[in-house]
Structure 1
């Protein structure tokens, strides 16, 4: 028989930005809180520990102008117009199938947008600072700020606050099953601790903030397909995100939401030991696959608007790998090296032939580059590396839309690039209070979700919103739990 521990008011699974925001908010509201973290203490925090925590904001009190618009544009393909008609009505009048629909509904997105400024103000109250920070993207179509010290600063400060307010934190502890009380309310979780023993922890409510499933090859293959074999987490924290929280909630009847067959991709140098060793120089060169062929438009627009799709397309190539090839003209681009976060230098050679041989690519690669060069515009035109310049290829398939210049000047360089998963898109449906909804659009009593366990994204990631998603929905969960559990607890005394 498992041991049953006397539980807290609120149990939080996961110690990234989402879980810690939920925990501290609930503690401030007077609840007792237990935090569970699969990783050892020195690696707690999941993806948040490794991110620079960019945020889609104009400043620390205003979101970017396109925040809600981008979510609406990427709400999912082939949406039923009957569903869209229903969401124009008051939320209380929505049919069950619409409340449980996997798309990011306007109620949730408008709450998300509205709650960003007060959430940042709350974080600033702990001494955390936010503002413009250097970024590796050379071209952008929106505004961004970042947390000073990145995600690590966020989780370390919030963890310190959680402990100061009396939270119990259990490291190297994994949730394995949901518990219910006699009324069907979620009543905590079963866990295995550092010694492998099973234990039941009862709680008044439970928040799952345990990440996506990018660290689980079985779930990646189930939902994303065979190409999952070519994809790895972008940083070490992703390996701890194995999807059990999402699985447990789905098994408990939660409505799935988000695009389960997709993920937020980043193009990374596979040779590097660095976390998030991104390579964003490809708009100024060509991308070729293992067969030496181009396979997409390397520069359809600003790099921040398209790297998600380009990163996923790389995973579809033979072996899940590509190479960006460029030449000495790259030196005309100020700060070009900031677009590469790898600690491994480019492969370099004095001739294209020598470079192709070093890369182990077929001779057809030379024909690919010759065809690209022939399709480039005359070099007498203006080249504006930090603005859309419409210097496109002519008569080439696939087309390259911008920043086209012939690759002809020694030395020639290349980086290998693979697709990595920052996080998966599939999760569970929540309402504007971060309560998990079932397949009929009804609240599952006692269950909340925040961060990557929440399914919000389809098609193209709304860049620089994932840390905000964690902080906002974590805080909403903690506040709602405190407001609703505190009266119940008083009544029980």
Structure 2
């Protein structure tokens, strides 16, 4: 598989893309359209390629085809990192050319990069539209929402299939069932890629090969030993083993994003479907294996709070909880859309029988439900909006949609935290160039999608696929312009 482009470096740029999700395909197609010779390296077999993108509905935090949602910037900046030194934050209000090396390499959401993200989002979607994709404001799995979401018709699968065909039509050379191992370098410049099938030499490498949610060793090292209770949200995540991040860190790249965290989603562990999410917990109670409530199930709309609730589930013994509802769930219009599992709930005609069926202590569960029921107040139940129908004097409280659970049949679903993708990755600038620990761009190296680190604490929902498309395209545009 050895390829040498050194003799024609000034004639045709050779772009090597690692990964075939939305970030990699966007980079590959953009590079090919710009006249580059493009080699795409992908660990999966053809037909199973596409990483997480293949299995997602690909929600996009947009209020139109051309503008990001109104809360886009604010949500990112509210979760921009840890407790950053104020002197460094003050530097970052100036022009990026005036930033010190410490500021340029700081692990946080770079406001200049965030500005580029927002500015290029609409143009990127218009480019995808020209490639044949269609977008619309389609129904989502969220029963209650706080922001706007655009979707590609056909979801992530349509993105993968359409862009793969477009790349092939433009001459992109796909190497499936080929794993990237390490970066080739010369005099500080990245000159190619070592793979499981030999070396590929080129002018630029774009790492778009996901995070490390499919690597138990990296999960245990960064997220912690409890990560044994996590699993990727879909089959594509198992291919994401972190090589792209590791090989760049090995040559001095700066890390970015929250390495100890990940995007959490509540799923039914019994289901083998992609993303078998359970978003109906605001209308019931959550109990752990000891039969005890442990969190406010309904602090607000489910789209804004499901991740924080899921993290509390992950913290429970064995990383699992049970959602319990009663016959009143039928008062929630179309509640089934928030329960995406293909497995039926556990049913019983009494709380005690339900406790036996799900394997939690009978007396403890009965007491938990009785205390919850006694704490429920009176007021109007409004299932599609925050209704303030809260418990009184109960710890932990329930802030909305709190009604007694006392009408058979009683239903229960197990819930664990899925690992949609890991937050830790590589520091990049607004052009997706990978930066080193001194804030300097590493010549010939770019990163996009999950391989670039961007998120801290709480995920800014419906931005991951958009991030992949925007920065995959920006990486290839910048590399092509430089060539």
Which TM-score band applies after superposition, normalised by the shorter structure? over 0.9
Q: Deviations over 1:302-334 (max 9, x none)?
A: 111111121222111111110000100010110
Check if 1:187 corresponds to 2:185: no
Taking the TM superposition and a 5 Å limit, the aligned residue runs for 1:313-392 are: 313-363=312-362, 364-378=364-378, 381-392=379-390
Residues 229 and 318, structure 2, Cα contact 8 Å, conserved in 1? yes
Counterparts of 1:33 and 1:88 in 2: how far apart (Å)?
37
Q: Which of the numbers 28, 40, 58 marks the counterpart of 1:35?
A: 40
Q: Which residue number in structure 2 is paired with residue 212 of structure 1? A: 211
Residues 290 and 360, structure 2, Cα contact 8 Å, conserved in 1? yes
Query: Offset of 1:460 from its aligned partner?
Result: 0.7
Counterparts of 2:371 and 2:226 in 1: how far apart (Å)?
29
Query: Offset of 1:4 from its aligned partner?
Result: 3.4
Q: Which residue number in structure 2 is paired with residue 418 of structure 1? A: 416
Q: Which of the numbers 52, 59, 62 marks the counterpart of 2:64?
A: 59
Residues 59 and 131, structure 1, Cα contact 8 Å, conserved in 2? no
Q: Which residue number in structure 1 is paired with residue 303 of structure 2? A: 304
Secondary structure at the counterpart of residue 200 of structure 2: strand
Check if 1:287 corresponds to 2:286: yes
Q: Which residue number in structure 1 is paired with residue 148 of structure 2? A: 143
Q: Which residue number in structure 1 is paired with residue 14 of structure 2? A: 9
Check if 1:121 corresponds to 2:126: yes
| RMSD of equivalent CA atoms | 0.9
Check if 1:462 corresponds to 2:467: no
Query: Offset of 1:5 from its aligned partner?
Result: 2.5
Residues 48 and 467, structure 1, Cα contact 8 Å, conserved in 2? yes
Q: Deviations over 1:182-213 (max 9, x none)?
A: x22001110003xxxxx111010000000000
Query: Offset of 1:131 from its aligned partner?
Result: 0.8
Check if 1:154 corresponds to 2:159: yes
Q: Which residue number in structure 1 is paired with residue 100 of structure 2? A: 95
Residues 233 and 420, structure 2, Cα contact 8 Å, conserved in 1? yes
Q: Which residue number in structure 1 is paired with residue 87 of structure 2? A: 82
Counterparts of 1:145 and 1:5 in 2: how far apart (Å)?
41
Secondary structure at the counterpart of residue 417 of structure 2: strand
Counterparts of 1:50 and 1:454 in 2: how far apart (Å)?
20
Question: Runs ≥4 in structure 1, deviation > 4 angstroms?
Answer: none
Residues 279 and 342, structure 1, Cα contact 8 Å, conserved in 2? yes
Check if 1:20 corresponds to 2:20: no
- What TM-score do you get using the length of structure 1 for normalisation? 0.95
Query: Offset of 1:79 from its aligned partner?
Result: 2.2
Aligned length: 475
Secondary structure at the counterpart of residue 311 of structure 2: helix
Residues 327 and 409, structure 1, Cα contact 8 Å, conserved in 2? yes
Counterparts of 1:307 and 1:377 in 2: how far apart (Å)?
24
Q: Deviations over 1:12-44 (max 9, x none)?
A: 000000001001111111100000000000100
Query: Offset of 1:356 from its aligned partner?
Result: 1.0
Residues 375 and 394, structure 1, Cα contact 8 Å, conserved in 2? yes
Secondary structure at the counterpart of residue 4 of structure 1: coil
Residues 307 and 458, structure 2, Cα contact 8 Å, conserved in 1? yes
Counterparts of 1:178 and 1:311 in 2: how far apart (Å)?
37
Residues 277 and 343, structure 1, Cα contact 8 Å, conserved in 2? yes
Secondary structure at the counterpart of residue 300 of structure 2: coil
Residues 82 and 108, structure 2, Cα contact 8 Å, conserved in 1? no
